[in-house]
Amino acid sequence: MVGLTMMLSAVGELLRYTIGCEEGDRPVVLGHGWRRWRKRMKVRVVRTLALNMDHHEDECRGGESNSKQDDEEAVARLEELKKSIEAKMALRQSNLNPDRPDSGFLRTLDSSIKRNTAVIKKLKQINEEQREALMDELRSVNLSKFVSEAVTAICDAKLRSSDIQAAVQICSLLHQRYKDFAPSLIQGLLKVFSPGKPGDESDADRNLKAMKKRSTLKLLLELYFVGVIEDGNIFINIIKDLTGMEQLKDRDATQTSLTLLSSFARQGRIFLGLPVSGPEIHDEFFKGLNITADQKKVFRKACFAFYDAAAELLQSEHSVRVPALVN
C-alpha cells in the first residue's frame, strides 16, 4: 500500500507540472469533479510559477490575506527573484564568452601536485558554507594538468539541494579558466544516468542512486541556465531514457523516473512550454536559452506518454482511477 501511495504521489507531481502546457495539451480527468480538480490544480501551479524561480516550492496556505505583512513579503520575494535572475544572466554572459587566462598567467600560479591534490579533494565536498573559500583556492592554483581529476571529484560530490548553487559557481569559475573542463564535466555527469549493472541492490543503494540522479539533473539544468552547458539536446536524451517503457517493468525504477520527471518539470518548466509569471526580466532570461518549439514538443510528448503508461499500470494493478493526459 505504501508503494501505491508513493506511485500516486509521483504521478500527481508529474501531472501538476505538466498541466500548464499549451491549450491542445489539456488533461482529461476520469470520473466526476473535473472542474473543481482543475481549478485547484491550476491555482497550485500558478502559485508555484510565480514564486519558485529558485526552485524552492512554497507551501499552499489556506485562505486569502490582504494584510500589509503579506504584501511586504510578496514584494520582497519578487525583488529577490529579480536579483537572482540578474545574477544568472550576468553569469551566463561570462560563461558564454569566457575570457580565459593565457598559459603565461597560469604558470604564475601554484602547480604543485600536493597543493592541487588538496584542492581537488575539497571539490568532493562542495557546500554553500565553504564556497567562497574554495573559489579563492581554485583561483590560486593551476589545474591545467588536473582537469580530469577535478571533474571526477565534482561528479562524485554528494550535493544537497542547498549546495547546487555553490556547485554552479565553482563549475563556472573552472569553465572560465579551462577550455576542456565543461565537455569533460558534461560527459561525467551524464554517466550518472547510464543503466547500472543488473543484480540485486539493497534499498539503501537504490535510494542513493535515485538521490544522485536527482541532484545531478538539478545541477545540469542550472549549468544550462548559466551557459556552462549550451546544448539543450542533452536533456532530450536524459528524458527519453527516464520515460522508456522498460522503466515500467520495475516498480522502483518507475518511482524514480516519475520523481525525476516531476522535478524536471518543476525546475525546467521552460522546456515544457509552461507559462512563466513574474518580473519582465523573466522573458529576457528565458528567451536567451533558445529552446526551440520542436524541443518543447519532444519533452511534452515524452512526459505525457510516460504519465499515461504509469497511470494505466496503476489502474490495471489496483483498479484505481487517476487523471489521464492527452495531447
The total domain count for the chain is: 1
Residue 189 domain-assigned?
yes
Ramachandran category for residue 25: left, alpha or beta (phi over 0 → left; psi -120 to 50 → alpha): alpha
Residue 68 domain-assigned?
yes
Residues whose CB is less than 8 angstroms from the CB of residue 144 and which lie 6 or more positions away in sequence, other chains included: 103, 106, 111, 178
The pLDDT value recorded for residue 323 is 56
Residue 105 domain-assigned?
no
What is the DSSP secondary structure assignment for residue 254, as one 8-state letter?
Answer: H
What DSSP assignment string belongs to 153-175? HHHH----GGGHHHHHHHHHHHH
Cα separation of 213 and 241, whole Å?
A: 12
The pLDDT value recorded for residue 42 is 42
Residue 159 domain-assigned?
no
Residue 198 domain-assigned?
yes
Residue 96 domain-assigned?
yes
Question: Residue 67 phi/psi, 5° resolution?
Answer: -70, 160
Residue 288 domain-assigned?
yes
Residue 150 domain-assigned?
no
* Per-residue tens of pLDDT for the chain, all 327 residues: 445 455 555 555 555 555 444 434 434 333 334 344 444 444 444 344 344 444 444 444 444 555 667 677 777 877 888 888 889 999 999 999 999 999 999 999 999 999 999 999 999 999 999 999 999 999 999 999 999 999 999 999 999 999 999 999 999 999 999 999 999 999 999 999 887 665 667 778 888 888 999 999 999 999 999 999 999 999 999 998 888 888 888 878 888 888 898 889 888 888 988 777 666 777 788 888 888 899 999 998 988 888 888 888 877 776 655 555 555
Query: What domain range is 206 assigned to?
Result: 2-100+179-325
Query: Can you state the percent helix, strand and coil of the chain, rounding each to 5?
Result: 70, 0, 30
**Could you tell me the pTM of the whole model?**
0.77
The tens digit of pLDDT for each residue in 157-208 reads: 999 999 999 999 999 999 999 999 999 999 999 999 887 665 667 778 888 8
Residue 39 cell numbers, joined? 481549478
Do residues 27 and 326 lie in contact, with contact meaning Cβ atoms separated by under 8 Å? yes
